[in-house]
Structure 1
Amino acid sequence: MKKRVVITGLGVAAPNGVGIPAFTDALKNSVSGIRHHAQLQALQFSCQIAGQPQISDELKNQYFTELELRGFNSTGILYGVIAGIEAWTNAGLTIETNNEPDWHSGTIFGSGTSGIDKFRESIYKIDDLQTRRLGSTVVAQTMNSGISAYLGGKLGLGNQVTTNSSACATGTEAIMMAYDRIQSGQAKRILAGSTGDSGPYIWAGFDALRVCSSKYNDTPELGSRPMSASSAGFVPGSGAGALVVEELETALKRGATIYAEILGGNVNSGGQRGTGSMTAPNSEAVQQCIKNALRNAGISANDIDAINGHLTATTKDSLEIENWTKALNRSGNDFPYINSLKSMTGHCLSAAGSIESVASVLQLHEGFIFANTNCDDLHPEIGSQIDPTKVILKTIYSQPNIIAKASFGFGDVNACILFKKFDN
């Protein structure tokens, strides 16, 4: 018998809020985390704004020892550890210090890259024949699985400890992987999420592709404009989101707070065939991913109350809406409410799916749907497909029951997951 799977813990390090209380407040009140980035200006990037979590030295010291912080400059691991441990403690779980691993708990924590600044520092030292001065943590900081290794060690996890990587679909895929492992009985709980590094060495390639916003450098909060007629490309972002995904029976037995239930989902690829390419989605694959997610979750398209889309503020936004209308066979006034967190955080790349999933779950748990900022001028191609009132401009308190979350990434990869307000 397949097990029911729920979410019992949440953690986040987002550009507009580090920690669940601050992030929830930002969602409800449309607080932007997009700021001017002096280094991007100095490097003459066309896009000189970014979404980056604000992490104080005091906060770092709560999660890392003085020894660990010596020579440490991997922002991806920093964000992931902060979000991951917050989710773990938020779930009412303790950090054991005994010698026995927790065989029933693991982590699937995704990453696009790890420790780019550390890697660059190391290359310069190698070129300067200083290899012995690289430090003992350079490998752990720069290996892609560094984030899951850090979390696995800090929490003493004895089940699967791994890192997935699927571009912008990474975080949503990680949650689906955790769901599958628990549903099949291979684990009691998995700390699932993803993280993304900050800085010009991550964002430079996108700036070179001319897909980033460059018209709002003097007004950062206006720069990220998903679904807007005046959108000018995405704003780069970073951070981490984390969710404790747990077997319902175990969660009930220990009296855990249950934030939402995972009904199911789907992960697929368009194979870079048809309309798909390294950077463009195969629409047929996107629609199949959504349809298969519904089928796997055992619900109909009409059951969806809201969608937290991928919606990056690029020319592909109207195509994404078209794919949703076709996959759900719902349009006009029949279309669900839809929002994009990227209007407040920018595009957090490999961390996007997990941060946005945390936002989706918070909406279910607290009974609201957050607003789309910077979308007063809805793109006419979108307005012709769905009722403009479905793209809300102010937070509404409507008690959604089921939210669909989707992420689409470079390489023509897709992930869609269905979250439901928990009831017995």
Structure 2
Amino acid sequence: MSQHRVVITGMGVVAPNANNLSDFEQAVKSGISGIKYQPDLAALGFSCCIGGKPELGDALIGTYFDALELRNFNNNSIIYGVIAGMQAWQDAGLTILNADDEPDWDSGTIFGNGSSGVEKFREAIYKIDEGATKKLGSTTVVQIMVSGISAFLAGKIGLGNQVTTNSSACTTGTESLLMCYERIKTGKAKRMLAGSTSDSGPYIWAGFDAMKVCNFKHNDHAEKGSRPMSATASGFVPGSGAGALVLENLEDALKRGANIYAEVIGGAINAGGQRGSGTMTAPNSIAVQRCITDALKDANIHADEIDAINGHLTATTKDSLEIQNWATALQRNGNNFPYINALKSHVGHCLSASGSIECIAAALQIKHNFLFPNLNCEDLHPDIADIVSADKIPQQLIEQELNIIAKASFGFGDVNACAILKKYKD
């Protein structure tokens, strides 16, 4: 079977620090934090009262949804995902089909989600308990089903290839990218919309607050709260949003003169089976290292070829373990360790959307030759400083040529995904 090369030709993002690709690039270059104090969390007695939520106006939402669609609509994850997905499709210069057109049999989507329609589900429960089932409305099912996001995007664009939603905790977005990559590489689709989305607010974030894994020490200084790789990191800051990437076979991309952000040259997805050091919430280090080395093998590159890492790095006690796993897998440390940065210092942990938003940041770095700064790690954790030279963890924007970036995500359930992105050259 012939193998097709796969490139990224369109991207869209809804993040706590920006609602479009151009603003997002400028925000990450400038180190603009999207994390703010959330009064509703304080009113509900949360320990962590800060978070990252996209700020969407009615005008922006109205660009992608009509008034009928928004009637009785109460699902932020679908709104975030549709906006990001449509932005990516338009950024790629692809056609949105009319309602009476035949579906695009060569295009599909695998668009991930962690949980969907929690607010709508809560509303439905109260109405049912009150005996008002008939007042639920006709959109309840599509708002509650996790696959509502991929279904919405398929209808908006006219997708006729695979249309589905994956869900693998924090690895969801990177997993989506790799699943779409495989489908195009093997010729089962010409282009796929990869991405993931995550809802926001107390009903999504409460469980993490209850687990005491969120930062409660920076409620008065929200932008300082997300501190990956810092000695004073004290838990992650919850975030939300969506990221979307159009993946396309190289032949078709070149035929239509598409803008190419980066090439996806390989990757790996695995799990630690919650064995050894792995648990529902902690990684099996052997599995993490194996995921990284398998990704290198799949991409047919050597560890020394990696210029930078876009880490998972959540600002918890596992950050130093992640750095150690990278060092072991790559057999690189000190000054020989690649550059590494953590987008969560800018936007918080966007949960199921994190992988996609971070993949976009990685692709932008490759396309435009820069490394965005790590925020809030001026006090580098000593265990990390023992492994990596401080100058490999940039705290200011660095502009330099980048050829290959490794992007990894590690999630609850002891699941892992690592994608390898490369600069496209004619």
Deviations, residues 324-363 of structure 1 (Å, cap 9, x unaligned): 0000000000000000000000000000000000000001
Where do 1:96-115 residues align within 5 Å? 96-97=97-98, 98-115=100-117
Identity %: 63
Paired residue secondary structure (2:398): coil
The worse-fitting range, judged by mean Cα deviation, of 92-101 and 155-164 is 92-101
Deviations, residues 359-394 of structure 1 (Å, cap 9, x unaligned): 000011111000000010000000001111111100
Where do 1:52-201 residues align within 5 Å? 52-97=53-98, 98-201=100-203
Name the residue aligned to 2:226. 224
Query: Which of residues 274, 279, 282 is equivalent to 1:280?
Result: 282
Deviations, residues 175-222 of structure 1 (Å, cap 9, x unaligned): 000000000000000000000001111100000000000000010000
Name the residue aligned to 1:317. 319
Where do 1:231-270 residues align within 5 Å? 231-270=233-272
Q: CA RMSD in A?
A: 0.5
The worse-fitting range, judged by mean Cα deviation, of 265-274 and 118-127 is 118-127
Where do 1:246-395 residues align within 5 Å? 246-395=248-397
Measure the CA separation in 1 of the matches of 2:260 and 2:66. Answer: 31
Measure the CA separation in 1 of the matches of 2:228 and 2:179. Answer: 28
Amino acid at match of 1:73: N
Cα shift at 1:268: 0.1
Paired residue secondary structure (1:18): coil
Name the residue aligned to 2:17. 16
Measure the CA separation in 2 of the matches of 1:49 and 1:246. Answer: 38
Measure the CA separation in 2 of the matches of 1:136 and 1:35. Answer: 35
Amino acid at match of 1:32: S
Amino acid at match of 2:49: Q
Paired residue secondary structure (2:55): coil
Paired residue secondary structure (2:26): helix
Where do 1:34-49 residues align within 5 Å? 34-49=35-50
Paired residue secondary structure (1:266): strand
Q: State how many pairs are aligned.
A: 424
**Structure 1 alignment gaps of length 5 or more:** none
Paired residue secondary structure (1:286): helix
TM score, norm. by length of structure 2: 0.99
Measure the CA separation in 2 of the matches of 1:331 and 1:33. Answer: 31
Amino acid at match of 1:393: Q
Cα shift at 1:399: 1.5
Measure the CA separation in 2 of the matches of 1:232 and 1:118. Answer: 32
Measure the CA separation in 1 of the matches of 2:399 and 2:128. Answer: 56
Amino acid at match of 2:252: T
The reply on whether 1:417 has 2:419 as its aligned counterpart is: yes
Measure the CA separation in 2 of the matches of 1:24 and 1:241. Answer: 13
Amino acid at match of 2:139: T
Cα shift at 1:231: 0.5
Cα shift at 1:145: 0.2
Name the residue aligned to 1:25. 26
Deviations, residues 267-297 of structure 1 (Å, cap 9, x unaligned): 0000000000000000000000000000000
Cα shift at 1:96: 1.2
Measure the CA separation in 1 of the matches of 2:375 and 2:366. Answer: 20
Paired residue secondary structure (1:361): helix
Cα shift at 1:423: 0.5
Measure the CA separation in 2 of the matches of 1:359 and 1:319. Answer: 23
Name the residue aligned to 2:209. 207
Amino acid at match of 2:38: H
Deviations, residues 16-54 of structure 1 (Å, cap 9, x unaligned): 111001100101100000001111010010000000111
The worse-fitting range, judged by mean Cα deviation, of 161-170 and 97-106 is 97-106
Measure the CA separation in 2 of the matches of 1:401 and 1:133. Answer: 55
Paired residue secondary structure (1:242): strand
Amino acid at match of 2:230: S
Paired residue secondary structure (2:128): helix
Cα shift at 1:398: 1.0
Measure the CA separation in 2 of the matches of 1:38 and 1:79. Answer: 22
TM score, norm. by length of structure 1: 1.00
Cα shift at 1:420: 0.6
Cα shift at 1:99: 2.6
Amino acid at match of 2:11: L
Measure the CA separation in 1 of the matches of 2:382 and 2:332. Answer: 18
Amino acid at match of 1:129: G
Measure the CA separation in 1 of the matches of 2:102 and 2:399. Answer: 45
Amino acid at match of 1:189: R
Measure the CA separation in 2 of the matches of 1:204 and 1:183. Answer: 40
Measure the CA separation in 1 of the matches of 2:308 and 2:101. Answer: 45
Measure the CA separation in 1 of the matches of 2:242 and 2:231. Answer: 29
**Structure 2 alignment gaps of length 5 or more:** none
Amino acid at match of 1:345: V
Measure the CA separation in 1 of the matches of 2:359 and 2:128. Answer: 40
Measure the CA separation in 1 of the matches of 2:108 and 2:174. Answer: 17
Paired residue secondary structure (1:132): helix
Measure the CA separation in 1 of the matches of 2:191 and 2:103. Answer: 14
Cα shift at 1:94: 1.8
Name the residue aligned to 1:408. 410
Measure the CA separation in 2 of the matches of 1:135 and 1:241. Answer: 29
Amino acid at match of 2:399: Y
Amino acid at match of 1:164: N
Deviations, residues 230-249 of structure 1 (Å, cap 9, x unaligned): 00100000000000000000
Measure the CA separation in 2 of the matches of 1:338 and 1:391. Answer: 6
